[in-house]
Chains A and B, each alone.
Chain A
Amino acid sequence: MIEVNNLHKSFGKLKVLKGITEKVKESEVVCVIGPSGSGKSTFLRCLNLLETPTSGDIWIDGEKITDSKVDINKIREEVGMVFQRFNLFPHMTALKNIALAPIKVRGLSEKEAYDRARALLKKVGLEDKADVYPNSLSGGQQQRVAIARALAMRPKVMLFDEPTSALDPEMVGEVLNVMKDLAKEGMTMVVVTHEMGFAREVGNRVLFMDEGIIVEKGTPQEIFYNAQSERTKSFLSKIL
């Protein structure tokens, strides 16, 4: 589903990604862990071209998105993204937040889009919040709306950029539960996270990144209980 070959990204002189090569299969849930500054968010943002790779190639669903002729917007329609800070549109109700892109991008009628949005709100357990503006929602609720908003485009892949890092602890669970359901339905997911519990329970594979490379990868079991690299071990010892 996703194939990344020798991906490099630099910001000026700062090399953030130094050659990432990785494949994500359909319906796979891949969790990316690593210290801050390791490049894991940048890696994720390259997958929908929010960051333009300096070099290297990325294929999504067989399409080479790093090709200069490719229509970025078309790619992004198929790749949903959930942000750390939710980034809901504050001037729209929860329902409108979800319905906007299907109307504008997919060309759905308002009725179709709002029906779809209502169904998604129900799915994330917020059907009673349709007409509420984001600032009246808790962080956990906002993030669930943000997930519903991304799903409304019916993407093939979902990217999560530290989706629970900006949440109060008691709200982390509700967001993770929505993500677990999504994983069970067979969504292909790449999740940058510090939630080791989620990675262990839901992740098919875990990538440990540090200083712009994938230091170690394996099943959650392998990474969490039988890490080979010293860097992985020292990182895990600090957070577990």
Chain B
Amino acid sequence: MSLLDSYLHHAIAVFPSLLRGAVITVEVTTFAIFFGLILGTIAAFGKLSKRSVFKIPSSIYVDFIRGTPLFVQILIFYYGIPGLINGITGEVFRIDPIIAGIAVCSINSGAYNAEIVRAGIKSVDRGQMEAARSLGMTERQSMKEVIMPQAVRLIIPPLGNEFIALLKDSSLLAVISVHELSKNGMLYVSKTFAAFPAYISVALVYLALTMGISRVLNYIERRLGVSDRSE
């Protein structure tokens, strides 16, 4: 059997388990995008708030998460915190790796999203808020009707990049044995030693997924661009 034949054989053989892994990867990423957006929006408004009860915790959150590696955050969340709880209560505490993975990725992504959302809101011209307020609209109404619709258009493109980064970064969850795409590739290699075809296949599946996200985002951007013809 030639090398090429052998590689093709492995690429086909690894595929079903990669598909199963891809489902987990997409699942984790989707949940993390959802919760990360919520966290990011809350933290963005916290950082924009004039009141330090909101501002300081938001800033600490964003700085801590952005200043430390995701890999280390995963280790802290999955091993460190259960260990701490164990130490305090004396009871064994376990987290499901997928739940832990979704939580860490959401928290991590939220910090980056916070900066994107904050920057988007800040870059809407100040005169817009003044005009809205001068008409008697409350701060909340002005934010909802005037500022956010304009900010969203500025926020979507960088947010898309963030989602793609998140999908790729979720491969780090292999370290806490979440059976996502990379982990399943590694498992296959550990049985067959066919590293090249297996990991190339893993890479290609990631590529397909990220291209899928790009497509969806382009569609959303185009939709917003048509209905919203501002400068």
Chain A residues with a Cβ under 8 A of chain B: 48, 50, 73-74, 76-77, 79-81, 83, 85, 87-91, 100-101, 104-105, 133-136, 146, 149-150, 153
Contact = CB atoms under 8 A, between A and B. Distances in A.
Interface stretch (B66-74, B129-137, B166-174): B129-137
Interface in B119-164: 125, 127-128, 130-138, 141, 145-146, 149-150, 153
Given A76-B135, A105-B135, A87 B125 contact: yes
Given A85-B127, A87-B131, A100-B145, 12 more contacts: A50-B134, A76-B133, A76-B136, A79-B134, A89-B128, A89-B131, A89-B145, A90-B150, A91-B150, A101-B137, A104-B145, A150-B135
A74 B135 CA distance: 10
Contacts of A104: 137, 141, 145
Interface secondary structure of B, over-half rule: helix
A149 B136 CA distance: 12
Contact of A83 (B130, B141, B149, B229): B130
B231 interface: yes
B127 A73 contact: no
A104 B139 CA distance: 12
Contacts, number: 73
18 contacts: A48-B134, A50-B134, A81-B134, A83-B130, A87-B128, A89-B132, A89-B146, A90-B150, A90-B230, A91-B153, A91-B230, A100-B137, A101-B132, A105-B136, A135-B229, A135-B230, A149-B135, A153-B135
Interface residues of B, number: 22
A91 B130 contact: no
A153 B136 contact: yes
Contacts of A134: 230
Given A89-B146, A90-B230, A135-B231, A105 B137 contact: yes
Name the 3 nearest CB pairs between A and B, nearest first.
A90-B230, A77-B136, A87-B131
A135 B225 CA distance: 14
Given A83-B127, A89-B128, A91-B149, A101 B230 contact: no
A33 to B, nearest CB: 22
B228 interface: yes
A149 B132 CA distance: 10
Contacts of B150: 89-91
Nearest to B224: A91
A71 to B, nearest CB: 10
Contacts of A50: 130, 133-134
Contacts of A79: 134
Given A87-B128, A104-B141, A73 B136 contact: yes
A97 to B, nearest CB: 9
A153 B135 CA distance: 7
Contacts of B137: 73, 100-101, 104-105
B135 A101 contact: yes
A87 B145 contact: no
A89 B231 CA distance: 11
A89 B127 CA distance: 10
Contacts of B229: 90, 133, 135-136
Contacts of B127: 83, 85, 87
A150 B132 CA distance: 10
A134 B128 CA distance: 13
